[in-house]
């Protein structure tokens, strides 16, 4: 809800501060008094395009500050949180400053922001209908959600959106698999060559190190054999016939002969000789085994080297380590298998996408039928409001335009738009293209009255909604504005005494001159002042007693 509006140096306004409350608030005054300046000022704070012509002559800068009360859960709070803007005392303050050089600045709660953010916040706070910029109902993008809200179809619309997402995901999965299969088929010859090459080699995990060890032994086979033989000769004695084993055996026999005389202390020495003899036998066995395992066959060495370097070349080709070649082999084989079985897999994905499309279309079609029924009720309700508003020749129509499949989306399979025809037989068209002036405002009033319970709870501003009408039609407008203001805030710029008489709060806009400068001022009226102002609206410049009596009657009837 708009709480206050402070204006500094805008056109004819020098300094002005207004406080607003819920209910129907009427702004009246003579033509040219400056009522439009108030709306221009409010629009400036809401992010409308700045014009240096708004600056009061002689002033350095214009400034407009609009303060709003925010209820808990208001959607503006989420927008503010996105931009790390804090809220104090549940109040939002939007401020716009315009310098005479045409440059401007925008603030929200004293934090500098973009004008784009001001407009985004304004869309949740104020809806202005009339000659000033229109928001909300004139934007066709809002018509579908309003129809769904009116028809109680929001939950079904959400289900349609979910089915649409399922369909798009299934379709994306199918198309991705299709592209991958097509690419794989283009690479099939290459893949088969690579797999055949790996099939022939059959690389094994850890094989590189094994081959490197074997290759190293073969390359040094003669040196190794000579070393093993020399070590064996030293242990066995070689041609001299007396080696380590014989020496250890002789030493043990010598000690055994004196064991009885040496006592128990000799036993440790005998055990040590036994261990030495056992270790020597084991060493000889190992040397003979190693010697027997070494091959001096140059053909075997060549075979190992060929395999070793073949694996090295293949690893470089595939950009991996030799030990990773088995995994590469498996992956390439999987791609080939996918090509062989890809047709069946692709068909399964295609079938899944078709089923998801069918599920979406069935729910979307049911939603379309429900929207058609809701549109019929909405049209009847709004058309019933038009005759009292002096729009008896006009017709309102909710248009449901089927979309081509390429244009289907999460909102369904049709486009929703509100259209009017102002004369019998005329072709319906968009509200802002067919209706004009007061007609447009009264159309929007009819829509607002019917959609009051489902429209977002924003402050509403009507600019001369009663233009070109009077008498019973003006009274009908006043009655509808009063009904619409229940539980919300309406600001109405009006020339109609019937509308002003229904207001909960009444402001008078007046222009005064001191001979040097002309200034617009706004004052809130008391009950007596209201009666006098409504009498002026009824009779003109000269207020008569009859006009005052008529004003009192209008106010009493309200």
Domain boundary assignment for the chain: 188-336
Q: Which residues contact 539 (CB under 8 A, 6 or more apart)?
A: 546, 547
State residue 131's pLDDT score. Answer: 44
Whole-number Å distance between alpha carbons of 345 and 343: 6
β 23-28/489-493 pair status: parallel
Rounded (5°) CA angle 530-532-534? 70
State residue 190's pLDDT score. Answer: 81
Whole-number Å distance between alpha carbons of 168 and 248: 88
The torsion angles phi and psi of 500, rounded to 5 degrees, stand at -60, -35
Rounded (5°) CA angle 116-121-122? 95
| Residues 357, 174 contacting (CB under 8 angstroms) | no
- What is the token pair recorded at 234? 């030293």
DSSP H or E segment with residue 6: strand 2-10
3 state SS of 320? coil
The torsion angles phi and psi of 94, rounded to 5 degrees, stand at -110, 130
State residue 241's pLDDT score. Answer: 60
CA atoms within 13 Å, Cβ hemisphere of 520? 24
| Residues 417, 401 contacting (CB under 8 angstroms) | yes
Q: How far is CA 323 from the centre of its chain?
A: 45
Q: Which residues contact 52 (CB under 8 A, 6 or more apart)?
A: 98, 100, 101, 102
| Residues 360, 157 contacting (CB under 8 angstroms) | no
State residue 435's pLDDT score. Answer: 63
Whole-number Å distance between alpha carbons of 437 and 442: 9
- What is the token pair recorded at 537? 């609206």
Q: pTM here?
A: 0.65
Whole-number Å distance between alpha carbons of 256 and 254: 6
Sequence length of the chain is: 558
DSSP secondary structure string for all residues of 483-530: HHTTTSEEEEE---HHHHHT-SEEEEEEEEE-SS-EEEEEEE--HHHH
Kindly tell me the sign of the dihedral angle through the C-alpha atoms of 401, 402, 404, 405: positive
DSSP H or E segment with residue 272: helix 266-293
Per-residue buried b or exposed e for 36-51, using 16+ beta carbons within 10 Å of the residue's own CB: bbbbbbbbbbbbbebe
For residue 405, give Cα distances in angstroms to 119, 214, 369, 408. 34, 68, 17, 5
3 state SS of 304? helix
β 505-513/23-28 pair status: parallel
Which residue from 348, 359, 351, 405 is spatially nearest to 167, judged by alpha carbons? 359
State residue 268's pLDDT score. Answer: 82
- What is the token pair recorded at 545? 């007693």
From first to last of its 558 residues, the chain has per-residue pLDDT tens of: 999 999 999 988 889 999 999 999 999 988 878 888 888 899 899 998 887 788 888 888 999 999 999 988 888 999 999 998 988 878 999 999 998 887 889 999 999 999 999 999 998 898 887 544 445 677 788 899 999 999 999 999 999 999 999 999 999 999 998 888 888 777 777 888 888 888 888 888 888 888 877 777 666 666 766 676 777 677 777 655 667 777 777 787 877 777 777 777 788 888 888 888 888 888 778 877 766 666 555 567 778 878 888 888 888 988 888 888 999 898 888 878 877 776 788 889 999 999 999 999 999 999 999 999 999 999 999 999 999 888 888 899 999 999 999 999 999 999 999 999 888 878 888 876 776 666 777 888 888 889 887 877 778 888 877 777 788 888 998 999 999 898 889 999 998 999 999 999 999 999 887 767 788 889 999 999 999 999 998 887 788 889 899 999 888 876
CA atoms within 13 Å, Cβ hemisphere of 522? 25
DSSP secondary structure string for all residues of 95-162: EEEEETTS-EEEEETTEEE-HHHHHHHHHHHEEEESSSPP-STT-GGGHHHHHHHHHT-HHHHHHHHH
Q: How far is CA 204 from the centre of its chain?
A: 49
CA atoms within 13 Å, Cβ hemisphere of 243? 16
Which residue from 76, 25, 24 is spatially nearest to 46, judged by alpha carbons? 76
3 state SS of 246? helix
Helix 221-236 and helix 266-293, axial crossing angle in degrees, nearest 10: 150
State residue 424's pLDDT score. Answer: 83
The sheet that has 126-129: what strands, in order across it?
126-129, 459-463, 489-493, 23-28, 505-513, 518-524
Which residue spans within 414-493 are E strands per DSSP? 414-421, 429-430, 459-463, 489-493
Whole-number Å distance between alpha carbons of 389 and 404: 38
């Amino acid at each position: 809800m708009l709480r206050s509006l402070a204006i500094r140096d805008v056109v004819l306004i020098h300094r002005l501060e207004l406080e607003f409350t819920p209910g129907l608030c009427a702004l009246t005054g003579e033509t040219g008094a400056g009522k439009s300046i108030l709306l221009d000022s409010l629009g400036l704070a809401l992010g409308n395009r700045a014009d240096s012509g708004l600056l009061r002559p002689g002033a350095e800068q214009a400034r407009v500050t609009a303060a709003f009360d925010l209820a808990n859960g208001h959607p503006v709070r989420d927008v503010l949180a996105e931009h790390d803007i804090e809220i104090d005392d549940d109040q939002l303050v939007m401020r716009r400053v315009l310098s005479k050089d045409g440059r401007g600045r925008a603030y929200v709660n004293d934090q500098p922001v973009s004008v784009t953010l001001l407009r985004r916040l304004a869309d949740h706070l104020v809806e202005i209908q009339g000659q000033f910029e229109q928001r909300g109902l004139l934007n066709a993008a809002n018509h579908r959600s309003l129809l769904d809200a009116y028809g109680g179809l929001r939950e079904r619309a959400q289900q349609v959106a979910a089915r649409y997402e399922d369909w798009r995901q299934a379709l994306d999965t199918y198309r991705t698999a299709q592209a991958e299969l097509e690419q794989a088929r283009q690479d099939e010859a290459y893949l088969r060559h690579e797999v055949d090459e790996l099939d022939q080699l059959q690389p094994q995990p850890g094989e590189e190190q094994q081959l490197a060890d074997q290759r190293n032994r073969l390359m040094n086979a003669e040196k190794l054999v000579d070393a093993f033989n020399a070590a064996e000769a030293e242990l066995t004695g070689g041609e001299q016939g007396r080696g380590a084993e014989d020496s250890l055996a002789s030493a043990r026999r010598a000690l055994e002969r004196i064991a009885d005389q040496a006592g128990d202390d000799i036993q440790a020495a005998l055990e040590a000789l036994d261990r030495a003899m056992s270790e020597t036998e084991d060493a000889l066995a190992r040397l003979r085994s190693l010697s027997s395992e070494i091959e001096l066959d140059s053909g075997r060495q060549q075979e190992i080297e060929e395999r070793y370097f073949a694996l090295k070349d293949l690893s470089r080709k595939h950009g991996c380590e030799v030990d990773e070649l088995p995994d590469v082999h498996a992956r390439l084989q999987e791609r080939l298998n996918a090509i062989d079985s890809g047709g069946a897999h692709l068909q399964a994905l295609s079938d899944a996408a078709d089923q998801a499309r069918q599920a979406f279309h069935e729910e979307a079609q049911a939603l379309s039928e429900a929207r058609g029924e809701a549109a019929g009720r909405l049209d009847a309700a709004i058309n019933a409001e038009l005759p009292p508003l002096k729009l008896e020749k006009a017709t309102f129509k909710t248009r449901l335009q089927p979309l081509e499949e390429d244009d289907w989306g999460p909102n369904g399979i049709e486009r929703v738009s509100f259209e009017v025809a102002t004369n019998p037989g005329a072709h319906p068209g968009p509200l802002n293209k067919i209706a004009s002036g007061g007609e447009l405002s009264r159309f929007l009033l009819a829509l607002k009255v019917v959609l009051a319970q489902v429209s977002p709870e924003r402050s509403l501003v009507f600019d001369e909604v009663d233009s070109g009408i009077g008498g019973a039609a003006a009274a009908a407008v006043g009655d509808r504005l009063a009904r619409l203001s229940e539980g919300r805030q309406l600001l109405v710029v009006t020339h109609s005494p019937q509308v002003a008489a229904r207001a909960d709060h009444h402001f008078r806009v007046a222009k005064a001159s001191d001979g040097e400068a002309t200034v617009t001022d706004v004052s809130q009226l008391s009950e007596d002042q209201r009666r006098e102002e409504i009498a002026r609206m009824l009779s003109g410049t000269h207020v008569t007693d009859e006009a005052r009596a008529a004003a009192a009657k209008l106010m009493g009837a309200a």
